[in-house]
Amino acid sequence: MPDVRTVLVPDGLEGERVDAGVARLFGVSRTKAADLAADGHVVVDGKTVAKSERLAAGAMLEVSLPAAEQSPSIAVIAQPVPGMSIVHDDDDIVVVDKPIGVAAHPSLNWTGPDVVGGLAAAGYRISTSGAPERQGIVSRLDVGTSGLMVVAKSEYAYSRLKQMFRSRQVDKTYHTLVQGLPDPLVGTVDAPIGRRPGAEFKFAVMSTGKPSVTHYEVLEAFRHASLLEIHLETGRTHQIRVHMAALKHPCCGDPLYGADPRLAARLGLDRQWLHATGLGFEHPGSGEYVHFESAYPEDLQRALDVVASL
């Protein structure tokens, strides 16, 4: 028997494609969501809809999920996150400085601490838009990447921030230490990224991937590595790590994408040297431009000091 789910479309999904909205709300792949729409299993306000139609906030969305495709429950567990600091907090947003070893939100493949659970443990109430385990999350950082993340507290902030991220109106700045010296010293990597066949958690540059654009500039060159500033136009999973590896200059301490483990050991690194140092955007409440910065964590600063001495 099919599992019929009915929800009101949250403000954060206003204008979202049907297949994308169904995927986010019910934890199925976007391809599966498109198939459900094609088979007439997605109904909005009593009318079956195509995958490319747009959702309206407040509409009644009804989806019939085959029993075998019911999404498993992912619970948000309120647990303190040591080392996670609050950079900014107001009625609309909370900006956190995420340490390594912490996910953005809970998932089936992660049992460690996460930002959503950490905020819940600290008493923060965040937006209810998005999938239950991702409520308030408008962008993510890898577990092994530290730095700044913004989480929506109000429903309007969620909708506005998602729109800004989609239209590339958010200034995201990262610093990374890569092996060798990129040539040219200032450049752009415009190469599509997709999931690598046969490797569930690894991505690669491939013609069938999603458009991905990374701008970089060498800030300082050392004998064995270079410190880069990165600005992203897109936000694909592992984007910086994949693009740096494609340049043959992988992030130091990132063996998944070809970094030399011997250099990582000399630098005392047990994760990729990658930090989200800056985040700027138009505040969804006031409309004013706001910018936040994060200093390097101790392990990254220590590695930087060591590489400078080699």
The single residue of 142, 171, 254, 305 carrying the catalytic annotation is 142
Reply yes or no on whether 142 is catalytic: yes
What string of H, E and C letters represents the secondary structure of the chain? CCEEEEEECCHHHCCCEHHHHHHHHHCCCHHHHHHHHHCCCEEECCEECCCCCECCCCCEEEEEECHHHCCCCCCCCCCCCCCCEEEEECCCEEEEEECCCCECCCECCECCCEHHHHHHHCCCCCCCCCCHHHCCECCCCCCCCEEEEEEECCHHHHHHHHHHHHCCCCEEEEEEEEECCCCCCEEEEECCEEECCCCCCCEEECCCCECCEEEEEEEEECCCEEEEEEEECCCCCCHHHHHHHHCCCCECCCHHHCCCHHHHHHHCCCCCCEEEEEEEEECCCCCCEEEEECCCCHHHHHHHHHHHHC
Query: Where in the sequence numbering do the catalytic residues fall?
Result: 142
